[in-house]
Chain A
């Protein structure tokens, strides 16, 4: 059974950093690209970043480019989202999602439960 468990969310002040982790199990981790998607309270879904199965290719939404870094450790079956220079508008539930193929430009087939990030002074 595919499981994706996010951690690392919490309350942080504007301008500070936070690192989210996504522990994966139930599939061959290195065979799947991974994505991060967020959802602000009461709003729709917003794609944030994606990373290929090897980790060699990364992609970002313009709203986070230059501030967030997506990475993965295939030996630990874990994906990460390093969030720097956080803004109030980054407050959201962050979902880790598994893509169905190696390439990040592939449909998501499984989603994690999400972790809440609140940016506030």
Chain B
């Protein structure tokens, strides 16, 4: 199975900040990666697919990059509604696997 490792596991930031979350795959997954946001008690929401393509309706302050084994999610100009937990998921091989999550909290 492909292991997905996210870092950091938690992060504190302020409104207006720029933050970066990293996801590392245990083997080459090309660009078959999605970034997902989840707020407490709510359903997940897909933000970015194919590592860098923005899902329809997602604000442009979210961006993704990377290929192979190293990926990043960057959020610029943090807004209050962005404080949530973020997961990466690979869809290169079965079983599809998720990173452990990064909890983004308000400083």
**Size range of the chain B interface in the assembly:** 20 to 34
Contact A95 B43, beta carbon cutoff 8 Å: yes
- Known A47-B98, A111-B43; judge A100-B49 contact (CB<8 A): yes
Q: How many chain A residues touch the partner (CB < 8 A)?
A: 24
A-contacting residues, B20-58, CB 8 Å = 32, 34, 36, 38, 43-46, 49-50, 55
The chain A residue sitting closest to B100, CB to CB, is A44
Cα–Cα distance between A59 and B97 once the two chains are bound (Å): 13
Docked CA distance A97–B49 (Å): 14
Q: B95 near A59 (CB under 8 angstroms)?
A: yes
List the A side residues contacting B99 at CB < 8 Å. 44
Q: Report A's interface with B, CB cutoff 8 A.
A: 35, 37, 44-47, 50, 59-62, 95, 97, 100, 105-114
